[in-house]
A and B are shown apart, each in its own frame.
Chain A
Amino acid sequence: MTPNNPTNPQRQNSATRPLLPTPYSLLPRLTDHRTIAKQYLLLALISVIIGALLSLLMRIHLVWPGWSLWFHGPILPEDYLALVTIHGTIMLFFVLTTAPQAGFSNLVLPAQIGAHRMAFPALNASSFWLTALALLILLSSTFVPGGAAISGWTAYPPLSAVPSAGPGQGLGMDLWLLSIALFAIASTASSINTLTTIIRNRCEGMTWERLPLTVWGWFTAALLSILAFSVLLAAILLLFCDRHAHTSFFLPAGDLVNNVLHKSGDGSPLLWLHLFWFFGHPEVYIAILPGLGLTSMLLANFSYRKVFAYRTMIATTLLIGFLGILLWGHHMFVAGLNPFASSAFSISTMAIALPASAKVLSWLATTWRARPQYTTAMLFTLGFVSLFITGGLTGPILAQPILDEYLHNTFFVVAHFHLIMAMAGIFALYAATYYWFPLITATARHSGRLMSEPLGRLHFWCTIIGAYAVFLPMHLTGLAGEPRHYAQLTGIPGANGALSPAGALLAQTIPLNRFITYSAIFLATAQLLFLLNLILSLRKGAFATSNPWKATTLEWHPAMNPFPPIPASDIPAIAVYRAPCHYQTTGPATEPDTSFLTQWQPDTAAETSAEHTINTKPE
């Protein structure tokens, strides 16, 4: 590709093309993808901190219902439900969709494909500001009369369609819908940008098979967003009409909510479930696909190997994306889905376990007898592998309707998705942060900084222990029958005064729940280590060399990451000559003699000597 081609006047006179490849040259700051990346990451960080605090409030209330929040008083049932709703919404949309898919992709995607800019910088920037606006609206819904929405992140009607259905279902619900609608538009816009960038802005020689798996992850996730988010938008529009235009898309005739009778119409609540989950399931894969790609790349990088079965990994990424569209019904096995449909969805869901297992196998094979280098990034990546396996294996259990009939909406499900989505997702974010921190902190003036490794290791061990301590026991309370969305587990009044059988059933889970809460507090506190590390390293972290991890992908190309800019004249034209992860080592990887070939290095004598030992094919 030609960042600056003197023999090409068209590029010079067009103001949209920077003469220098440094992002700060001609482009306005706000549309520079690195700036946007930092904005997204900051937004995600703020969101995740809020979300984590909310989850702590939830946990504390579950085991000490009497405990009263400062400036607020005791947490009422509706408060608890609002907490759950906002927690889920913030974490899923504003953390795990923005940070990996928009944040880190803006940071490294263009560089990894050898492009100096995104396809549509303005679109890119506007989608960020839309996202920020959406977050503000969501948070503001907490303070309106009636409080925030209480119908969970899935917002099933009629609960979400009729304001009389409960506190927070009035203005709070409207704001929730508005916020998610804006978010949907923003994600669609940024996905359009991502897709176009990947397809059109790849540099010389960057063939599809040579794309890093991270890019493949972003690509597939972007495709999913394009398909899924617009369906969510349509569903939200319909729900909004039901709420304000007296239509009845989701409201059945004769629906009586708190003495408010809905007379007309033959709407069906299940319609919302179908539309929502058609979006909702792809959404959770959007959250994890970039993480899957990152894991493959980092494992290979730090064990100085090729990614095992590179092409198969590309195929499985696309396959997971494709199957992910076909199995939304597995959230509705006992929600009124026709039993035969349940069987069909169950089969397609079991099918998706295979590409996922293929990925796990490739990870195991990549690290097998590799003596990798245990940087913090590598540790978090290994943690991701462990969490993905643990959380993933409960998926096929839930995928069997007969078992889901017992487990649906119990804490077993909560455990499942917190391990595979929440914790694995956060681990991927951490790995990315520790790994790409030099790219985040590099400025035109000085090169990037590294995060403190000792602090990082401590943070890793606390987090992995905390993660398992919090979410493994949840499987047990779930198996014991503890349902989701229960604002209270103790002293639930029975039909006739005394402790009801329900109360007795739930009371058994209290001791274990107490343990979970303690662990949750520990887990959240452990994150302070990260924040500390972040602040310290931002200030006075050690400066990084131009390729601190012996990485082979293009984001470490000296002309790509914003290290002190070299004059335009001696920027090598960026072209790619081989698939990533091109290592040749004798002995343990930690030894210094690890020789490696970056994607951008032209053939050298060194390589021709490497010729015989290195299999240059992707596999």
Chain B
Amino acid sequence: MPATITPNKTDQERKRRLEDHDNGSGRRPPTDKRTGGGGDNDNWNERSSGRSGPYERLHRYRMGIFFALASDLMFFVAIVSTFFVNQSAGHLNVYNHFENTWVPTAIPPILWLNTAVLFLSSVTMEIARRTMFRETDVMDEWLGLGKPITRRALPWISATIVLGLLFLAGQWIGWHQLATQHIFFRSNQSSHFFYLITGVHAFHLFLGIGALIAAFTGLYLSRQLESRQILVDGVSWYWHAMGLLWLFLFTLLVFFQ
């Protein structure tokens, strides 16, 4: 990723003496003979450079988002595994014959369309994310020449919001189509899962749209470039994850019922 120009950079121009483990952050620890050179492989050389340097906050928030997504992934893993268990589960009927009453739920065709829309929204989101880091604009901002980044990113963010809303609306229509065929959440095992999976995912997207709107306003209000970058970057990773997740869930519903 392109580096921004932050004052850090200027004070890193100082001559660094790497052989003394000087990370250029201004203070270098007194050289430590025992631990020097990683001789006792307590990896002194890969030691963390602490909370200094550009993008430190960005990377921190990104890592937080990733951990959150990891736990969210486990959430869906749990649901999907119950899906498979319940699918193969059956019961002994009164005649002691094992019977499996799983009838797959027909996928409303509109979901294909929604999938396309969601994919598109991921693309616009990624474009918005990239614009946040365009070097020349970052430079302008730092030199105080307005907020070109916000100007460039806003359209893409709004596009993503619209597409996301379209997706949700599409899902809503899909549910209605099922409802008209009298297939409800409560109807049978597979419908349980269809509504549960789509519903939970839709809820996640709902939160995502909330975050997008937050980012939208943030782009307007926040003066600090880094916070704006963090905002958009975080939302976009979340959004991509939800898109990817949907691909998995959709294939599950379409091909594995």
**Are A and B in contact, CB atoms below 8 Å, in the complex?**
yes
The yes or no answer to B136 lying at the interface (CB within 8 A) is no
B52-71 to A contact mask, C-beta < 8 Å, 1/0? 10001101100110011011
Q: Cα distance A7–B189 when bound, in Å?
A: 64
The yes or no answer to B221 lying at the interface (CB within 8 A) is no
Find chain B residues with CB under 8 A from A114 CB. Answer: 50
Q: Cα distance A14–B50 when bound, in Å?
A: 18
Find chain B residues with CB under 8 A from A196 CB. Answer: 60, 63-64, 67
Q: Could you say which of B8, B42, B75 contacts A209, with CB atoms under 8 Å apart? A: B42
The answer to whether A275 and B78 touch across the interface, beta carbons within 8 angstroms, is yes
Find chain B residues with CB under 8 A from A348 CB. Answer: none
Q: What's the least CB distance linking A19 to chain B, in Å?
A: 14
The answer to whether B51 and A2 touch across the interface, beta carbons within 8 angstroms, is yes
The answer to whether A253 and B27 touch across the interface, beta carbons within 8 angstroms, is no
Q: Given A5-B52, A10-B8, A208-B43, do A230 and B64 touch, yes or no (CB 8 Å)? A: no
Q: Given A10-B8, A196-B64, A603-B33, do A267 and B27 touch, yes or no (CB 8 Å)? A: no
Q: Cα distance A152–B69 when bound, in Å?
A: 31
By beta carbon, the residue of chain A nearest B38 is A207
The yes or no answer to B34 lying at the interface (CB within 8 A) is yes
The answer to whether A119 and B64 touch across the interface, beta carbons within 8 angstroms, is yes
The yes or no answer to B15 lying at the interface (CB within 8 A) is no
Q: Given A254-B91, A577-B35, do A264 and B40 touch, yes or no (CB 8 Å)? A: no
Q: How large is the interface on A (under 10, 10 to 19, 20 to 34, 35 or more residues)?
A: 35 or more
The yes or no answer to B185 lying at the interface (CB within 8 A) is yes
The answer to whether A193 and B192 touch across the interface, beta carbons within 8 angstroms, is no
Q: Cα distance A446–B65 when bound, in Å?
A: 39
- The residues in B between 169 and 223 inclusive whose CB is less than 8 angstroms from any CB of A are 185-186, 188-189, 192, 196, 200
Q: Cα distance A246–B25 when bound, in Å?
A: 61
Q: What's the least CB distance linking B131 to chain A, in Å?
A: 22
Q: Could you say which of B46, B100, B186 contacts A207, with CB atoms under 8 Å apart? A: B46
The answer to whether A227 and B74 touch across the interface, beta carbons within 8 angstroms, is yes
The yes or no answer to A371 lying at the interface (CB within 8 A) is no
The answer to whether A234 and B100 touch across the interface, beta carbons within 8 angstroms, is no
Q: Could you say which of A1, A14, A191, A192 contacts B52, with CB atoms under 8 Å apart? A: A1
- The residues in B between 25 and 39 inclusive whose CB is less than 8 angstroms from any CB of A are 25-27, 29-30, 32-35
Q: Given A199-B63, A230-B78, do A241 and B29 touch, yes or no (CB 8 Å)? A: no
The answer to whether B59 and A200 touch across the interface, beta carbons within 8 angstroms, is yes
Find chain B residues with CB under 8 A from A206 CB. Answer: 47-48
The answer to whether B50 and A203 touch across the interface, beta carbons within 8 angstroms, is yes
The answer to whether B47 and A247 touch across the interface, beta carbons within 8 angstroms, is no
The answer to whether A234 and B52 touch across the interface, beta carbons within 8 angstroms, is no
The yes or no answer to B140 lying at the interface (CB within 8 A) is no
The answer to whether B90 and A249 touch across the interface, beta carbons within 8 angstroms, is no
The yes or no answer to A210 lying at the interface (CB within 8 A) is yes
Q: Given A5-B25, A252-B91, do A233 and B48 touch, yes or no (CB 8 Å)? A: no
Q: Given A7-B11, A602-B29, A616-B40, do A266 and B86 touch, yes or no (CB 8 Å)? A: yes
The answer to whether A204 and B75 touch across the interface, beta carbons within 8 angstroms, is no
- The residues in A between 601 and 617 inclusive whose CB is less than 8 angstroms from any CB of B are 602-603, 611, 616-617
A529-566 to B contact mask, C-beta < 8 Å, 1/0? 00000000000000000000000000000000000000
B99-126 to A contact mask, C-beta < 8 Å, 1/0? 0111000000000000000000000000
Q: Given A2-B26, A233-B75, A579-B42, do A275 and B82 touch, yes or no (CB 8 Å)? A: yes
The answer to whether B26 and A7 touch across the interface, beta carbons within 8 angstroms, is yes
Find chain B residues with CB under 8 A from A271 CB. Answer: 82, 85-86, 89
Q: Cα distance A274–B6 when bound, in Å?
A: 51
A39-68 to B contact mask, C-beta < 8 Å, 1/0? 000000000000000000000000000000
Find chain A residues with CB under 8 A from B25 CB. Answer: 2, 5
Find chain A residues with CB under 8 A from B78 CB. Answer: 230-231, 234-235, 275, 278
The answer to whether B51 and A210 touch across the interface, beta carbons within 8 angstroms, is no
The yes or no answer to A488 lying at the interface (CB within 8 A) is no
Q: What's the least CB distance linking B46 to chain A, in Å?
A: 7
Find chain B residues with CB under 8 A from A618 CB. Answer: 42
A242-254 to B contact mask, C-beta < 8 Å, 1/0? 0001111100111
Find chain A residues with CB under 8 A from B44 CB. Answer: 205, 207
Find chain B residues with CB under 8 A from A34 CB. Answer: none
By beta carbon, the residue of chain B nearest A222 is B67
The answer to whether A267 and B89 touch across the interface, beta carbons within 8 angstroms, is yes
The yes or no answer to A388 lying at the interface (CB within 8 A) is no
The yes or no answer to A459 lying at the interface (CB within 8 A) is no
Q: Cα distance A386–B43 when bound, in Å?
A: 35
The answer to whether B85 and A8 touch across the interface, beta carbons within 8 angstroms, is no
The yes or no answer to A238 lying at the interface (CB within 8 A) is yes
The yes or no answer to B7 lying at the interface (CB within 8 A) is yes
The answer to whether B74 and A616 touch across the interface, beta carbons within 8 angstroms, is no
The yes or no answer to A268 lying at the interface (CB within 8 A) is yes
The yes or no answer to B79 lying at the interface (CB within 8 A) is yes
Find chain B residues with CB under 8 A from A8 CB. Answer: 7-8, 11, 26, 52
Q: Could you say which of B26, B47, B68 contacts A192, with CB atoms under 8 Å apart? A: B68
Q: What's the least CB distance linking A608 to chain B, in Å?
A: 9
The answer to whether A245 and B85 touch across the interface, beta carbons within 8 angstroms, is no
Q: Cα distance A233–B79 when bound, in Å?
A: 10
The answer to whether A200 and B60 touch across the interface, beta carbons within 8 angstroms, is yes
Find chain B residues with CB under 8 A from A278 CB. Answer: 78
The answer to whether A9 and B47 touch across the interface, beta carbons within 8 angstroms, is no
- The residues in A between 319 and 378 inclusive whose CB is less than 8 angstroms from any CB of B are none
The answer to whether B192 and A249 touch across the interface, beta carbons within 8 angstroms, is yes
Q: Could you say which of A210, A228, A234, A267 contacts B42, with CB atoms under 8 Å apart? A: A210
15 contacts between A and B (CB under 8 A): A2-B52, A5-B25, A8-B7, A192-B64, A195-B67, A196-B63, A196-B64, A201-B51, A204-B29, A204-B47, A226-B71, A245-B186, A266-B86, A616-B34, A617-B40
State the A residues within 8 Å of B (CB).
Answer: 1-2, 5, 7-10, 14, 16, 114-115, 119-120, 123, 188, 191-193, 195-196, 199-210, 226-231, 233-235, 237-238, 241, 245-249, 252-254, 264-268, 271, 274-275, 278, 573, 575, 577-579, 602-603, 611, 616-618
Closest 10 CB pairs of A and B: A1-B50, A234-B78, A246-B186, A230-B75, A209-B42, A230-B74, A575-B29, A230-B71, A231-B78, A192-B67
State the B residues within 8 Å of A (CB).
Answer: 6-8, 11, 23, 25-27, 29-30, 32-35, 40, 42-44, 46-52, 56-57, 59-60, 63-64, 67-68, 70-72, 74-79, 82, 85-86, 89-91, 100-102, 185-186, 188-189, 192, 196, 200, 224, 226
Further contacts, 9 of them, CB under 8 A, given A2-B51, A253-B91: A10-B6, A10-B7, A14-B226, A16-B57, A123-B64, A266-B100, A602-B30, A611-B34, A616-B35
